[in-house]
Amino acid sequence: MSEGNRPVKLDYDVIIVGGGMVGLTLSAALSQRDLRVGVIEPKPVELEWQRGTVDARVSAITRASQRLFEDVGAWSGIAAEEKSAYRRMCVWDGESTHGSIEFDASLIAEKNLGYIIENRVLRRALYQSIERARNVDWLCPEKCQEVTYHDDCAELTLVSGKRLKAALLVGADGAFSWLRKASDVGQVQKSYGHKAIVCTVKTDAPHQHTAWQRFDHHGPLAFLPLADNHLCSIVWSVDEAYAEELLALDSADFEKRLSHTFEATLGAVTLKSEPVAFPLFERTADTMVQHRLALIGDAAHTIHPLAGQGVNLGFADAQELAKTIEVSLNKSADIGLKHRLRPFERARKSETKAMQLAMQGFKRLFEQEIPVVQMARSYGLALTDKHPLIKQKLIRKAMGL
């Protein structure tokens, strides 16, 4: 695994720091290669839970991500009742002239646009796909303490005292990545000025296997359909002051405000989990690669959740990095050299930047309260809704096809 003979003895070819959904996706992809892989993670995977409970954190999985999970053997680990396919997406402007647009899978002859799946379900399925792999070690619970980079390897010291050497380290340890910071990789951070409120709700009317999203000047409100026809996961991204106002409401008043904002589209709503909020930031690492280091997922970038693309960007990072590593393996080249990792960064940086710019643009457009701007955006939605070819292109782009 080197361009010359490497004298150092490696414990692993690749060590992935972070065993969340993105880190596990990469480990599952690499388990199919002739590599020794270690995954360092402080939190065990939740393998079972009480029947009837719902994880408030869900992900909108694109068809491209679905295909990746199929390739790595994780999709079959998700039961039919654990994934909710959505066939339509309805988006509308809650102010001005109420312009709207509807996307339907039938427009491109597909059976659905994607799936809404609880994060705990995804993580369990991905973990089970590597549990069977002989070349992947799950080092959990473990935490990193120190990292040192050498010409011929990277060395990690764990809190437990273990010292591990690898040809390549991968930071998949989230937005507050320890490995990124410890490796002196800078980050540009911009606040969206929003907080995302998430919870699970029951609706009087069935969700119709539709993802609903309403915009107003406070921010977007999304109702994402779950497997139960009357359960939705909501993501309500609003300015910070309004978020605090909403969180201060008691359950009954919160439900009324939520139903009113959603224009009672699915009737009255009832909370099934406590609303929780987290601040939203756009983050971009100064680099995704350096000598013996690659960053993926939230460790490399974060975006506004209004389009539900954040975790799918991370899954695409994992897929592209696995391909880049395979190219080096096929050439018997050192997988940890920066120039060997650059194709991965080039491929992913442009797509991530484009998505970040798009999210900034949507946020700014819909938070405008100027009447002429509100009318223009509503007209734009309505006009786009009347052009099937444009809608087809938008649907395919969102699905990753």
**pLDDT tens digits along 70-129:** 999 999 999 999 999 999 888 888 776 667 778 888 878 888 899 999 999 999 999 999
Quick one: pLDDT band at residue 164, thresholds 50, 70, 90?
A: very high
Please state, in angstroms and as integers, the Cα–Cα distance from residue 297 to each residue in 26, 28, 128, 239, 387, following that order. Answer: 10, 15, 21, 25, 34
> Can you give the pTM of this predicted structure?
0.89
**pLDDT tens digits along 129-146:** 999 899 999 999 999 999
Q: What would the mean pLDDT of 249-259 be, rounded to a whole number?
A: 96
- Per the model's pLDDT, the better-predicted residue between 372 and 136 turns out to be 136
Does pLDDT of 4 surpass 80? no
Predicted local confidence at residue 386, as pLDDT: 62
Q: What would the mean pLDDT of 224-238 be, rounded to a whole number?
A: 94
Answer yes or no: are the C-beta atoms of 45 and 123 closer than 8 Å: yes
- Per the model's pLDDT, the better-predicted residue between 166 and 57 turns out to be 166
Q: What would the mean pLDDT of 35-45 be, rounded to a whole number?
A: 97
Within 8 A by CB and 6+ apart from 118, the residues are: 54, 55, 57, 58, 82
**pLDDT tens digits along 196-215:** 999 999 999 999 999 999 98
Quick one: pLDDT band at residue 1, thresholds 50, 70, 90?
A: very low
Does pLDDT of 372 surpass 80? no
Predicted local confidence at residue 23, as pLDDT: 98
Domains and CATH numbers, the chain: 12-399 (3.50.50.60)
- Residue 110: both structure tokens together: 């597909």
Does pLDDT of 51 surpass 50? yes
Within 8 A by CB and 6+ apart from 94, the residues are: 214, 215, 216, 261, 263
